[in-house]
């Protein structure tokens, strides 16, 4: 369970697992599709009295920084990390038909990109690959 993992992570790092952080992670963990920040804020209202947008946004940012949530740039949305370890980059298969997002497991940059970066003396800190297309389920129903 991701909450247990988060509790341990915070304990290990000496970070406080505040209520908004905990609730936002619970919300993300129960979501079946990527969520935009506004939806997270909306759901946070079920846990907290009248939460202010920055409360939700700061909690989301916190989990993004700590690797529990990924931002999907092209959708301007967030999704829980489905891989069980912290990784630098994130990469997703985004279905344009049903909106389903699959996290792919790629721990290292593909060599082609890595060598481009190296040739430019460029130090890679992270990356974000989003492949758009049609998922297997949608392909079957066509």
For Zn ion, how many residues bind (rule: CB under 5 A)? 8
Question: DSSP letters along 97-116, please?
Answer: TT--EEE----S--HHHHHH
CB of 96 to Zn ion, least distance (A): 8
C-alpha closest to that of 129 among 119, 118, 112, 140: 112
Decide if residue 138 touches Zn ion (CB under 5 A).
yes
In the numeric block, the tokens 């909106």 are attached to 99
Decide if residue 106 touches Zn ion (CB under 5 A).
no
Decide if residue 130 touches Zn ion (CB under 5 A).
no
Taking residue 59's Cβ as centre, other Cβ atoms within 10 Å add up to 26
Report the residue from 36, 48, 97, 116 that binds Zn ion according to the rule CB under 5 A.
97
Report the residue from 25, 44, 95, 109 that binds Zn ion according to the rule CB under 5 A.
95
DSSP, collapsed to helix, strand or coil, labels residue 41 as helix
Decide if residue 100 touches Zn ion (CB under 5 A).
yes
Binding site for Zn ion (CB under 5 A): 81, 83, 95, 97-98, 100, 135, 138
């Amino acid at each position: 369970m991701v909450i247990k993992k988060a509790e341990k992570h915070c304990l290990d790092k000496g970070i406080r697992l505040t209520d908004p952080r905990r609730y936002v992670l619970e919300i993300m963990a129960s979501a079946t599709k990527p969520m935009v920040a506004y939806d997270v804020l909306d759901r946070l209202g079920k846990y907290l009295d009248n939460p202010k947008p920055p409360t939700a946004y700061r909690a989301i940012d916190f989990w993004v920084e700590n690797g529990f949530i990924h931002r999907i740039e092209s959708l301007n949305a967030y999704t829980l990390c489905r891989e069980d370890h912290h990784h630098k980059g994130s990469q997703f298969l985004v279905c344009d038909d049903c909106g389903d997002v699959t996290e792919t497991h790629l721990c290292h940059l593909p060599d082609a990109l890595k060598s481009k970066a190296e040739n430019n003396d460029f130090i890679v800190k992270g990356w974000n690959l989003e492949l758009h297309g049609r998922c297997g389920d949608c392909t079957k129903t066509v």
